[in-house]
Amino acid sequence: MTYNEVVQIAEAYLLQLVSELYGLEGYETRPVKAHSGGRNIVYNCEKEGTDTKILRIAFLNDRSREELLGEVEYIRYLFEHGGSVSNVVSSKKGDLLEEITHNNHTFFVCLFEKARGKKLVENNYRYREGVPLTEYYYNCGKVLGKLHQLSKEYMPVHRRYSFFDKYNAEYIDKLIPGSLSLLKEKLVELLKTLEGMDRNHESFGMIHFDYNDGNYMIDFDTGQITVYDFDNSCFGLYMYDLADLWRSGVGWIAAEPDPGKRRKFMDDYFKTVLQGYRSETRIEDSMLEKLPLFIQVTLMEQIADEFECMRNNGEETESDKELSYCIKCLENDIPYMGFFHGIYSCEEPFEYDERSI
């Protein structure tokens, strides 16, 4: 079932049922623009005098009811224990997840409170007037640290899958084309390294797995960050989310031609992030030393996501310069996304084209 087909079913049938399930009579429901490869259709639900809600309808069959319950129960746990996240709204029956079957196809429905504030991109990447950006870096780390600290005490009723349930040698072999044999080899080596790492209480637990400025709002009056979109959350090594946060910082200095200045900025940026993070939870220096490894893992996730989208949508991305860049970094063991390496160009950030070499 395609995205457009689901939209038609939603407009004709699902939205009315959802309105009854959640008491949304009188709300104006407007679709949110989907991103490529999305597994949900999403709507803003607005009504004068009430807080805006976010409606999510999952239509792909790649997540079980158990896994989806694991996601929303985790979000509710984080919210109830002081995590800065968008809360899940219970249906009129008191359920966090509703299931609707139509023409033998099952749709899973969730409703969320909309996070206060705006995305950075909606504010043209300007932070709070008169406040240094270092406050934002610190807050990004602090909010993530709080989520990880809460995860260390989390005892799930419905358990989410583990990173290693999905990312393994068999998955890589099926997903990556045979023409990219070196990439396959490097990815399997990377996974073997991860599998050999200690997964103790302080290093392994529920993670967001997509922690970046596209998945949180900022209250520009206070600087408070509110996180949402736990669709990819899973059990994994906490260091992965920190590596994602490192990646989020490169945009602030991506146009700088001097690699030495880029490195100095990133060192200072991540130092501030870690100050915020460590104000809420512990992390061993031995784990932080593995940052380059986990940045490679974030590239693996990006590559896998691209090939999944190609497989699901029947698309070819042979000319995708960003994908080619990620592949080159992994095939050639170039650390830090090549950000301090000759492969990087500030004129075409994180893009690679063999024809230009």
The full set of domains in the chain, from first to last, is 3-113 (3.30.200.20), 121-356 (3.90.1200.10)
pLDDT digits (tens, 9 = 90+) for 334-346: 999 999 999 999 9
In sign, the C-alpha dihedral spanning 324, 181, 310, 247 is negative
pLDDT digits (tens, 9 = 90+) for 5-15: 999 999 999 99
Element (H, E) at 150: helix 133-151
Mean pLDDT confidence for 54-73: 94
Mean pLDDT confidence for 79-88: 98
pLDDT at position 319 over 60: no
For 56, other C-beta atoms within 10 Å of its C-beta total 19
For 118, other C-beta atoms within 10 Å of its C-beta total 13
- Look-up of token digits 């893009």: 351
pLDDT of residue 37: 62
pLDDT of residue 314: 63
Average pLDDT, the chain: 94
pLDDT at position 356 over 50: no
Distance CA 186, CA 165 (A): 19
CA distances from 261 to 162, 249, 268, 326 (A): 38, 14, 11, 22
Q: Of 59-68, 132-141, 189-198, where does mean pLDDT reach its minimum? A: 59-68
Using a pLDDT cut of 90, give the percent of the chain over it. Answer: 90
Mean pLDDT confidence for 313-329: 79
- Look-up of token digits 């699902």: 14
Mean pLDDT confidence for 316-331: 85
Mean pLDDT confidence for 268-296: 98
